[in-house]
Amino acid sequence: MAGPTVQAEARAGPTPKPPEASPNPPGNPLRNSSKGHSMLRHAGKRLLAAIPLLLVVPLLVFLLIDLAPGDPAVVLAGEDPTPDRIAAIRGELGLSDPVVERYLRWVGAVLHGDLGQSLMSDQSVTDMIVRRMGTTMSLVLFAMVMAVVLGTLMAILASLRPGGVVDRLVNWLASVAIAIPAFWFGLVLASLFAVTFQVFPAFGFVPLSEGLWPWMSHLVLPGIALGLLPAAEVTLQLRSALGQELKSDYILNAQAKGLSRSAVLFKHALKNACVPVVTVLGFRVAEVLAGSVTIEIIYNMPGLGSLAVDSVLSRDIPVLLGFVLFSTSVVVVVNLLVDISYGYFNPKVRA
């Protein structure tokens, strides 16, 4: 590639942070020069590395079906299978063909946007997933936003007086909150605030198109239940990261310059302390997505989670495969974003 192009790309990239806000020792030769370019390459490498996962996880499902003892069609038909159903499954899944051929055919169809048809309802799996995606995404988004807001607030409160009463209380609350199972917390919230006191609607989901408040009110309880764990983790991570940052030289320098306490905290420390938190959040998305399955069941929300559980109980493999592919994609995309943000925050990773 010609030199000028590289430079143009470098300029198009994100602007380098001021030296004092960088978590790296000063004088890192990698910084500034070709940041945008190597960022892109880093992202590209990560993307390539992520593709196998998308292929491998569905392959595992195919292999598992093949390896399961007994005739897969009979096994998949569940209890009391009718000959019709067995034949339908055999036909739909093409079970007489070798497993690799079936898998490749599925991959080929997916590349054309076709996830097949549900064994139970003859609907297109793509349609089913698209229709239910909004619910799950709203819920996950709400939970994550709550986790970030609550976690950041708590961590800042705690770092104002390190070792103080508030600090210890926040630390204790967060470590206890981590042990609370999300679905039980969801049940408790529902029984307290939807059944006993009826502050919020207990069940169901209203799309955003029907108004902001109806949408929000249906998301508050499940969102809090789902967001508790990531909120606690953000709190602990950010608190410990802030503690480290506040001890470092550049903070001392900022204080010596005469900056106020809040300026030091918000302008300098918080910025750098965000790095580990972004990572935590990224990894939690997968967990929150998984947690949304139980929460959707409790609150009777028509999302992907209930679709997945139904498809397992009725052995509806095409739907299950669609769900697996969707969740894996979300996780891959989020991991990718985390990886890229890592490369952005820490140039050493890109090398």
| Site for other proteins, rule CB under 8 A | 46, 49-50, 52-53, 56-57, 60-61, 64-65, 68, 75, 171-172, 174-176, 178-181, 183-184, 187-188, 190-191, 195-196, 233, 236-237, 240, 276, 279-280, 283-284, 286-287, 289-291, 293-294, 297-298, 308-309, 311-313, 315, 317, 320, 323-324, 327-328, 330-332, 335, 338-339, 342
Cβ nearer to other proteins, comparing 8 with 56: 56
CA pair distance 278, 237, nearest whole angstrom? 10
Cβ nearer to other proteins, comparing 117 with 237: 237
Integer angstrom CA distances of residue 12 from 9, 40, 123: 5, 11, 45
Q: How far is the CB of 258 from other proteins (least distance, A)?
A: 30
Place of tokens 């990239």: 13
Pull the structure tokens for residue 206.
Answer: 């209203």
Place of tokens 């019709």: 84
Burial (0-12, 13-18, 19+ Cβ within 10 Å), 309: middle
Cβ nearer to other proteins, comparing 7 with 302: 302
Cβ nearer to other proteins, comparing 22 with 292: 292
Cβ nearer to other proteins, comparing 238 with 269: 238
Cβ nearer to other proteins, comparing 36 with 282: 282
Q: How far is the CB of 180 from other proteins (least distance, A)?
A: 6
Q: How far is the CB of 72 from other proteins (least distance, A)?
A: 9
3-class SS at 333? helix
Cβ nearer to other proteins, comparing 9 with 92: 92
Q: Cβ contacts of residue 22 below 8 Å, gap of 6+? A: 28, 31, 272
Cβ nearer to other proteins, comparing 183 with 200: 183
Q: How far is the CB of 120 from other proteins (least distance, A)?
A: 13
Integer angstrom CA distances of residue 145 from 149, 231, 268, 285, 298: 6, 9, 23, 11, 21
Q: How far is the CB of 3 from other proteins (least distance, A)?
A: 30
Cβ nearer to other proteins, comparing 229 with 254: 229
3-class SS at 124? strand
Give DSSP secondary structure letters for 273-329: HHHHHHHHHHHHHHHHHHHHHHHHHHTT--SHHHHHHHHHHTT-HHHHHHHHHHHHH
Closest CA to 280 of 248, 235, 333, 324: 235
Helices (H), 94-181: 99-111, 125-160, 165-177
Closest CA to 219 of 144, 306, 323, 310: 144
8 Å CB contact between 238 and 155: yes
Q: How far is the CB of 136 from other proteins (least distance, A)?
A: 12
Q: How far is the CB of 342 from other proteins (least distance, A)?
A: 6
Half-sphere exposure of 296 (CA within 13 A, CB side): 25
Give DSSP secondary structure letters for 70-110: S-HHHHHT-SS--HHHHHHHHHHHTTTS-HHHHHHHHHHHH
Q: How far is the CB of 13 from other proteins (least distance, A)?
A: 21
Q: How far is the CB of 273 from other proteins (least distance, A)?
A: 13
